Amino acid sequence: MWKLARSAAPSLRQVRRFSAAIPGPCIVHKRGTDILHDPWFNKDTGFPLTERDRLGLRGLLPPRVISFEQQYARFMESFRSLEHNTRGEPYNVVSLAKWRILNRLHDRNETLYYRVLIDNIQDFAPIIYTPTVGLVCQNYGGLFRRPRGMYFSAKDKGEMMSMIYNWPSPQVDMIVLTDGSRILGLGDLGVQGIGIPIGKLDMYVAAAGMNPQKILPVMLDVGTNNEKLLKDNLYLGLRQPRLEGDEYLSIVDEFMEAVFTRWPKAIVQFEDFQMKWAFETLQRYRRKFCMFNDDIQGTAGVALAGLLGAVRAQGRPVKDFVKQKIVVVGAGSAGIGVLNMAKHAVLRMMGSCEAMPAQNPFWLLDKFGLVTKDRKDLDPAAAHFARGSGPGEIEGLQEGASLLEVVKKVKPHVLLGLSGVGGIFNEEVLKAMRESDSPRPAIFAMSNPTMNAECTASDAFKYAGDNIVFASGSPFQHVDLGNGKVGHVNQANNMYLFPGIGLGALLSGAHFISDGMLQAAAECLASYMTDEQIEKGILFPSISSIRHITAQVGAAVVRAAVAEELAEGHGEVGMKELLDMSQEETVDYVARSMWYPVYSPLVHEK
Ligand SMILES: NC(=O)C1=CN([C@@H]2O[C@H](COP(=O)(O)OP(=O)(O)OC[C@H]3O[C@@H](n4cnc5c(N)ncnc54)[C@H](O)[C@@H]3O)[C@@H](O)[C@H]2O)C=CC1
Ligand SMILES: CC(=O)C(=O)O
Ligand SMILES: [Mg+2]
């Protein structure tokens, strides 16, 4: 059942207190300049004199010791002056300049980098994550200075089992893997897509407190079908068309075997794979390895939380979800993932395993328009949502009907875009949403990055009306509606779930990620907002509380794994301890497991 009571949760201060406990010593096997050049251990001018002596650093740094707080303040001052000095310059120039200054810190001193990221997540998420990460991927060749993560290419076939041991960290908990074939809404960017696993893992550190020494961004380079990149002499990936069929799968198989041989307890998140491989690899590995596909499963949970919020925003009980009319634009991995999860929620609410309500509540469109059973070569994944003819169908809505026609005839409660097509919710479509059967129509323009959003926030309020609830995948400013009224902009992005799914799966020690664990994550997010917030159109929490949300989501995932008898525990906290924990204790445990960036005393060991 869908629970809407807010769960007992530790305050943000508590989460921070647990995480910021006095740091234990950190063993380092290097000395001297090797430490200064290692961002995991480097403290720049922050090394105390005693440590400089112990680690052979004396004389390698200017004599004055600068405290962490001073280093932090100095970085923030440089960042703010960069913001000031680039005011009025084009968006791309400013965004990349901001990304560069953060990236330089990331390359130099991870402790300081992650602290500024955590403390300023609202300002910095749009730089290290969507939308700027899209721009970074597009310009990767020119921006590349130092490698980050690992690259496994089609040329490495047969070598991956040994290559995986080239990674310097003895333990890896979380891997984000892409093949670069569908980077945000930007298409096939080949090897340049590595920016996405890097950005997602930065969110893992910021939101879930994953230890940066235990994360690994991975690019699986099987070629690219992007003609421009293939012709580019400076392109850094394999200049060959993408592998297909069994050749492709054998590369992914080999990588997965290598990873789980070295780190049997790691979690692998598949990210930004083109649809066919997204579904196929999920099917292939989900019971064999601890993995999930974020675009299919993470997005589905976030969208479902938003859809349930949209019901509540109308002043209706959540169970009325089954009566909502939902138009989904985009029949790709994300759109179909959302519909599958929404359909299961409807069936659960109706207490049924199979029969949908007499009025099928979903309409699906792709690049050819409305998807119906008359479609030739109907994709099997979309077939469940193809409209038929007869009772429950709207007269005159035929195969391939345009978005405008569908919106006008269906008068949906929700219009949800996961098409990757910027501006497709145009003035006419948005105006048609004024005739929605909902007193508070919901418009979710979830495609990324910003230029690919189906509409802007201001257009949504301007054309569809002040009473809408609005969410977008990339951030927009809240909209000034005049007379002191504000149109609230929600960010409906899988970042609210994937960190908690990964952390919860890790701490539970489950061998695979079940539907129940994913459902628990979605339910937790759905119940996070109070009725007062929902009434104001606030369907998702502020990103500034993302660690707090992730502690809750992670705990929900752990508890679902325990309930399904999948949990085996992690480290010193075994199955029995997990079983004995109350909900509150589980949240505490998850929060306490989060890494928090402070300088640890370094101890040299040969
Ligand atoms: N907000 C979030 O958390 C997430 C957002 N996304 C975004 O969703 C978008 C799609 O992602 P995927 O489903 O993985 O891509 P995909 O490539 O698998 O699917 C795209 C779908 O859009 C359809 N489409 C293309 N042009 C269209 C048009 N003019 N009208 C209607 N439909 C059209 C295609 O036919 C296809 O069905 C991307 O922009 C991605 O950034 C994806 C995952 C999470
Ligand atoms: C957010 C995300 O995962 C995407 O746009 O693909
Ligand atoms: Mg994605």
Beta carbon of 365 within 6 Å of any ligand 1 atom: yes
Q: pLDDT tens, 290-340?
A: 999 999 999 999 999 999 999 999 999 999 999 999 999 999 999 999 999
- Looking at domain 297-495, its CATH superfamily turns out to be NAD(P)-binding Rossmann-like Domain (3.40.50.720)
Is the N-terminal amide bond of 391 cis, ω within 30° of 0? no
How far is it, in rounded angstroms, from Cα 121 to Cα 114? Answer: 10
Beta carbon of 493 within 6 Å of any ligand 2 atom: yes
Is 448 labelled a binding residue? yes
**Structure-token match 């993302």, residue found:** 546
Predicted pLDDT of residue 10: 42
**Which ligand 2 atom is at minimum distance from the Cα of 182?**
6
Ligand in closest contact with the CA of 419: 1
- pLDDT above 80 for 19: no
Q: Look up residue 586 and give its amino acid.
A: T
**Which ligand 2 atom is at minimum distance from the Cα of 447?**
5
**Which residues, 6 or more positions from 367, have their beta carbon under 8 angstroms from its beta carbon?**
419
SS3 state of residue 469: strand
Instruction: Name 28's bridge partners.
Output: 604
Largest CA distance in the chain: 83
Is the N-terminal amide bond of 597 cis, ω within 30° of 0? no
Beta carbon of 178 within 6 Å of any ligand 1 atom: no
Instruction: Name 485's bridge partners.
Output: 482
Is 80 labelled a binding residue? no
Predicted pLDDT of residue 392: 77
pLDDT confidence band for 8 (50 / 70 / 90)? very low
**Which residue has a Cα nearest atom 16 of ligand 1?**
332
Predicted pLDDT of residue 23: 75
**Which ligand 1 atom is at minimum distance from the Cα of 474?**
1
**Structure-token match 């990149």, residue found:** 229
CATH 3.40.50.720 placement within the chain: 297-495
Predicted pLDDT of residue 84: 97
CA angle 243, 248, 249 (to 5 degrees): 170
What are the helix and strand counts (H, E) for the chain?
26, 18
For residue 184, the CA-to-ligand 3 centroid distance in Å is 6
- pLDDT above 50 for 6: no
How far is it, in rounded angstroms, from Cα 328 to Cα 343? Answer: 12
Check if the beta carbon of residue 217 is closer than 8 Å to that of residue 271.
no
Q: Mean pLDDT score of the chain, rounded to an integer? A: 95
Helices 546-563 and 195-208 cross at an angle (nearest 10°) of 90
- pLDDT above 50 for 17: no
For residue 297, the CA-to-ligand 1 centroid distance in Å is 14
Q: pLDDT tens, 341-374?
A: 999 999 999 987 667 776 789 999 999 999 999 9
How far is it, in rounded angstroms, from Cα 138 to Cα 468? Answer: 34
SS3 state of residue 423: coil
How far is it, in rounded angstroms, from Cα 75 to Cα 110? Answer: 13
Q: pLDDT tens, 473-490?
A: 999 999 999 999 999 999
Q: pLDDT tens, 428-444?
A: 999 999 999 999 999 99
- pLDDT above 50 for 218: yes
Is 295 labelled a binding residue? yes
Q: Look up residue 530 and give its amino acid.
A: T
Ligand in closest contact with the CA of 497: 1
Check if the beta carbon of residue 28 is closer than 8 Å to that of residue 603.
yes
- Average pLDDT of span 544-553: 98
- pLDDT above 70 for 286: yes
Residues with CB under 5 A from ligand 3 (ion): 271-272, 295
Q: pLDDT tens, 577-602?
A: 999 999 999 999 999 999 999 999 99
How far is it, in rounded angstroms, from Cα 285 to Cα 303? Answer: 24
Check if the beta carbon of residue 72 is closer than 8 Å to that of residue 597.
no
Instruction: Name 54's bridge partners.
Output: none
E strand or H helix at 313: helix 299-313
Beta carbon of 475 within 6 Å of any ligand 1 atom: no
Pairing, β 362-366 against β 369-370: antiparallel
Predicted pLDDT of residue 1: 43
Percent of the chain with pLDDT over 90: 92
- pLDDT above 70 for 137: yes
Dihedral angle sign, alpha carbons of residues 38, 199, 504, 333: negative
Structural tokens at position 515: 């539907």
**Which ligand 1 atom is at minimum distance from the Cα of 295?**
43
**Structure-token match 């969410």, residue found:** 471
Ligand in closest contact with the CA of 302: 1
- Average pLDDT of span 104-122: 98
Annotated catalytic residues are 129, 200
SS3 state of residue 224: coil
Beta carbon of 176 within 6 Å of any ligand 2 atom: no
For residue 47, the CA-to-ligand 1 centroid distance in Å is 48
Beta carbon of 136 within 6 Å of any ligand 2 atom: no
**Which ligand 2 atom is at minimum distance from the Cα of 294?**
3
Pocket test for ligand 1, best of 135, 176, 182, 295 (most atoms within 8 A of CB): 295
Cα torsion through 147, 152, 153, 158, rounded to 10:
140
- pLDDT above 80 for 2: no
pLDDT confidence band for 4 (50 / 70 / 90)? very low
pLDDT confidence band for 21 (50 / 70 / 90)? low
- pLDDT above 70 for 15: no
**Which residue has a Cα nearest atom 7 of ligand 1?**
447
Given phi > 0 = left and psi -120 to 50 = alpha, else beta, which region is 596?
beta
Q: pLDDT tens, 378-396?
A: 999 999 999 998 777 998 8
Ligand in closest contact with the CA of 300: 1
Tell me which CATH code domain 145-289 carries: 3.40.50.10380
Predicted pLDDT of residue 405: 98
- pLDDT above 50 for 275: yes
Predicted pLDDT of residue 353: 66
- pLDDT above 60 for 80: yes
Q: pLDDT tens, 38-52?
A: 999 999 999 999 999
Q: Look up residue 86 and give its amino acid.
A: T
CA dist 260 → 264, 512, 561 (Å): 4, 12, 20
CATH 3.40.50.10380 placement within the chain: 145-289
- Average pLDDT of span 148-153: 98
Q: pLDDT tens, 487-504?
A: 999 999 999 999 999 999
Q: Summarize the chain as % helix, strand, coil (round to 5).
A: 50, 10, 40
Beta carbon of 183 within 6 Å of any ligand 2 atom: no
How buried is 353 (Cβ within 10 angstroms: 0-12 exposed, 13-18 middle, 19+ buried)?
Answer: exposed
How far is it, in rounded angstroms, from Cα 335 to Cα 169? Answer: 37
Dihedral angle sign, alpha carbons of residues 581, 586, 588, 590: positive
**Which residue has a Cα nearest atom 3 of ligand 2?**
295
Predicted pLDDT of residue 203: 98
How far is it, in rounded angstroms, from Cα 445 to Cα 114? Answer: 30
Dihedral angle sign, alpha carbons of residues 313, 131, 329, 383: negative
Question: Nearest Cα to 386, choosing from 301, 299, 433, 328?
Answer: 328
CA dist 423 → 393, 457, 560 (Å): 28, 11, 39
For residue 461, the CA-to-ligand 1 centroid distance in Å is 23
Beta carbon of 494 within 6 Å of any ligand 2 atom: yes
Beta carbon of 293 within 6 Å of any ligand 2 atom: no
Q: pLDDT tens, 151-193?
A: 999 999 999 999 999 999 999 999 999 999 999 999 999 999 9
How buried is 240 (Cβ within 10 angstroms: 0-12 exposed, 13-18 middle, 19+ buried)?
Answer: middle
For residue 200, the CA-to-ligand 3 centroid distance in Å is 9
